[in-house]
């Protein structure tokens, strides 16, 4: 009976999966059959930015491999506690871009709604790992004010739902927000930035597909996948469902040392994405957030990797190498 109180029967499968995510580094190592003293796991880093990884994502990791590229993205390590010049808590200028709580504008013609702090997975390189969500998230009580601000500015044509991960919210909440946005005549597009279809493919369920399929705004989804091993049969099915209702899919990846800083892995990622109906869009240089210095790949190496990638792939499968610079008018191509 206690279990039913904690996880109601009415809760959707994806919500159960989020609730049951692995949160203890020791449990993660045990699941992967790794000795607990093999890796420099940091309790301090886990306290600063908690471990969270869905069990389905853990199942894609190779057991017994401490260098598994999916594991490296989520395991809190001692290196996160190093202070490094140029790495700070707000690397892309989010604070300066706040228009009002829950609403950011960095670029002309589009705004970003910070829908929630919640995310299905905590990636150790996340540029918002220090973001003050308690102050700045667009909780439902702020949605009307956000819609009013957007309605008052006819230069805004696109709204980006971000977070956290917007698909961490229940569909009823998302529908309420989107219905408000649909009433704004000058809005043309709704863009959703989400890692959920990759790390928690159960999130792409009938309820999500229903409101997405009936959205009056042209809807685009940008997923986040860094390595071909992240895409298994369950992810392909989820992506196919989104394609079936006419949602264009793009991917943005981050170039990460020890994860995908290899031309063969970048090649595999682009090919696997395209086979799954997703266009490679951006390959980001690491945002220099405090705690992520061990993931950094230098600019020259990044440019050389993309040059090699161009030799192996048609142009439309080569993601644009970009860097996000605080207060710049657009992402900087490299």
Structure tokens at 150: 């957007």
Binding site residue list? 119, 123, 126
Burial class (CB in 10 A: 0-12, 13-18, 19+), 45: buried
> Which one, of 173, 178, 250, lies nearest residue 212 by Cα?
178
Question: Rounded to an integer, what distance in angstroms lies between the CA atom of residue 185 and that of residue 187?
Answer: 6
**H or E element that contains 298:** none
Question: Rounded to an integer, what distance in angstroms lies between the CA atom of residue 199 and that of residue 230?
Answer: 8
Distance (Å) of CA 168 to CA 18, 58, 61, 201, 280: 9, 19, 23, 12, 24
**334 Cβ partners below 8 Å, 6+ apart?**
285, 299, 302, 303, 306, 321, 322, 323
Give me Rg for the CA atoms of the chain. Answer: 20
Question: Rounded to an integer, what distance in angstroms lies between the CA atom of residue 326 and that of residue 323?
Answer: 10
Binding site residue list for [4Fe-4S] cluster? 119, 123, 126
Question: Rounded to an integer, what distance in angstroms lies between the CA atom of residue 199 and that of residue 56?
Answer: 7
Question: Rounded to an integer, what distance in angstroms lies between the CA atom of residue 73 and that of residue 68?
Answer: 9
Cβ 175 vs Cβ 139: under 8 Å: no
Q: What SS3 class is residue 53?
A: strand
């Amino acid at each position: 009976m206690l279990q039913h109180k904690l996880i109601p029967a009415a809760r959707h499968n994806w919500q159960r999966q989020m609730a049951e995510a692995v949160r203890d580094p020791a449990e993660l190592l045990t699941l992967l059959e790794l000795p607990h003293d093999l890796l420099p796991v940091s309790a301090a880093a886990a306290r600063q930015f908690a471990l969270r990884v869905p069990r389905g994502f853990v199942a894609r990791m190779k057991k017994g491999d401490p260098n598994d590229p999916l594991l490296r993205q989520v395991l809190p390590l001692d290196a996160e506690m190093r202070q490094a010049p140029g790495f700070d808590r707000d690397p892309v200028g989010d604070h300066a871009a706040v228009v009002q709580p829950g609403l950011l504008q960095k670029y002309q013609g589009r705004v970003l709604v910070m829908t929630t702090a919640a995310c299905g997975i905590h990636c150790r390189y996340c540029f918002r790992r220090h973001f003050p969500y308690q102050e700045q998230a667009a909780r439902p009580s702020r949605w009307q004010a956000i819609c009013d601000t957007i309605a008052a500015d006819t230069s805004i044509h696109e709204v980006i739902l971000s977070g956290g991960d917007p698909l961490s919210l229940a569909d009823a909440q998302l529908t309420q927000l989107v219905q408000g946005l649909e009433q704004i005549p000058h809005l043309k597009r709704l863009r959703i930035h989400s890692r959920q279809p990759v790390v928690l493919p159960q999130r792409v369920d009938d309820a999500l597909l229903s409101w997405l399929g009936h959205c009056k705004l042209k809807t685009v989804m940008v997923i986040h996948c860094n390595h071909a091993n992240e895409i298994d049969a369950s992810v392909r099915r989820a992506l196919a469902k989104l394609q079936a209702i006419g949602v264009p899919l793009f991917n943005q990846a981050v170039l990460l040392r020890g994860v995908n800083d290899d031309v063969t892995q970048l090649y595999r990622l682009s090919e696997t994405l395209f086979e799954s109906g997703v266009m490679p869009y951006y390959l980001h240089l690491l945002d220099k957030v405090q705690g992520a210095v061990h993931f950094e790949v230098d600019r020259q190496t990044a440019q050389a990797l993309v040059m090699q990638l161009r030799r192996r792939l048609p142009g439309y499968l080569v993601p644009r190498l970009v860097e996000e610079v605080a207060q710049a008018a657009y992402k900087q191509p490299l």
